[in-house]
Homo-oligomer: A and B are copies of this chain.
Amino acid sequence: MNSISTPTRTRVTMNDVADLAGVSKASVSRFIGEDRQLLSESIARRIEQAIDTLGYRPNQMARGLKRGRTRLIGMLVADIRNPYSIAVMHGVETACRKHGYSLVVCNTDRDHEQERLHLQALRSYNIEGLIVNTLGHHLGELRELHSELPMVLVDRKVDELESDLVGLDNVATVAQALDHLQQAGYRDILMVTEPQDGTSSRVERVDAFSANLANRPDMRGQVCETGETLHSALRTFLDQHGHGPKALFTGNGIATLSTTRLLHELGCHLFDDIGLIALDELDWYPLVGSGITSLAQPTHDIGVTAFECLLSRLRGDPEPVRVYDFPAQLIVRGSTRRRRS
């Protein structure tokens, strides 16, 4: 048995197979490629035999070098610890596997410099396509890449980058949220968003919030951000009077977590003192207080669609840029079942 520390055995190559089978490399190549039907029965059998006595596996990198197909897809993620990103990634990975692709995951931790490094790395791996879920600064690098391979944006638009986009229908979803809140009797709404920072989905949600409320004269809306100021913003909101029952609308999972934590610390009785509807569904929402009402994104489908979109481009789909807007699904829990007062 070989030692752990010295994995020294050299990989078995196409030549080894050819030698053992007593044929040429070309025949082996045909066998593992699409041209298997061009081989005689006897030679095919000998090759097959040789392949599995040797445990031969074609080297995808060498193939890629020649044919330009590495069966590798890159995914650039801003925050791998965001449940949304994970869920989408799971969808992407599933689709990849189904079609024989593998996934190179690059997490930037919201750092622009890391994003640049990752983009450079990805370029060097001959990936066939790229899924982008970041702010997309470094337009130069992105364009460079986009001129070489198909790209699809997830959740976040990137200005001046003409690319397919798959994400949530933010306008419709915000409308859904406000419809539900209004119907449940809430009148004074505070939206909590992560700092927008040019993240298109956040901007769209906040804009849709304001625009939509303009058409609901009996409701009032305000917006605040997560971070240092959230604590005082919440406190102020809770102390205000006169605009009717209050509810919070959190713009994504992170915002929901921060907000719920603070409510908890502020000693709110969740959710009798105040309503809450959250964009994004997390598995612990049923467990907090009387349960958190949410608008679930079809994250798995979003991931699958992103990959399939890429695949279609790889196969030469010449259509102009497409936008996939998915709807959200409302899940009603205790946080919007207003107590009769």
Interface residues of chain A, those whose CB is within 8 Å of chain B, are 1-7, 9, 11, 55, 57-62, 64-65, 70-72, 80-81, 86-87, 89-90, 93-94, 97, 100, 102-107, 109, 114, 117-118, 120-126, 144, 146-150, 162-164, 257, 260-261, 264, 282-284, 286-288, 313, 316-321
Contact = CB atoms under 8 A, between A and B. Distances in A.
A318 B5 CA distance: 5
Contacts of A61: 61, 64-65, 70, 124-126
B2 A147 contact: yes
A103 B102 contact: no
Contacts of A321: 4
A212 to B, nearest CB: 29
A282 B261 CA distance: 13
Q: Which 3 A-B pairs have the closest CB atoms?
A: A60-B124, A284-B284, A5-B318
Looking at A58, A87, A148, A318, which has the most chain B CB atoms within 10 Å of its CB?
A148
A284 B321 CA distance: 39
A7 B146 contact: yes
A324 to B, nearest CB: 15
A77 B191 CA distance: 37
Contact of A287 (B97, B126, B264, B317): B264
Contacts of A105: 89, 93, 103-105
Contacts of A3: 318
Contacts of A257: 283-284
Nearest to A260: B287
Contacts of A70: 61
Contact of A120 (B1, B57, B147, B316): B57
Contacts of A11: 148
23 contacts: A4-B163, A4-B164, A4-B321, A7-B148, A11-B148, A55-B144, A59-B126, A60-B124, A60-B125, A61-B126, A65-B65, A80-B89, A89-B105, A93-B105, A97-B114, A97-B117, A100-B121, A102-B121, A104-B105, A260-B287, A261-B287, A282-B284, A284-B288
A297 to B, nearest CB: 15
Looking at A1, A4, A93, which has the most chain B CB atoms within 10 Å of its CB?
A4
Nearest to A81: B90
Looking at A6, A125, A318, which has the most chain B CB atoms within 10 Å of its CB?
A125
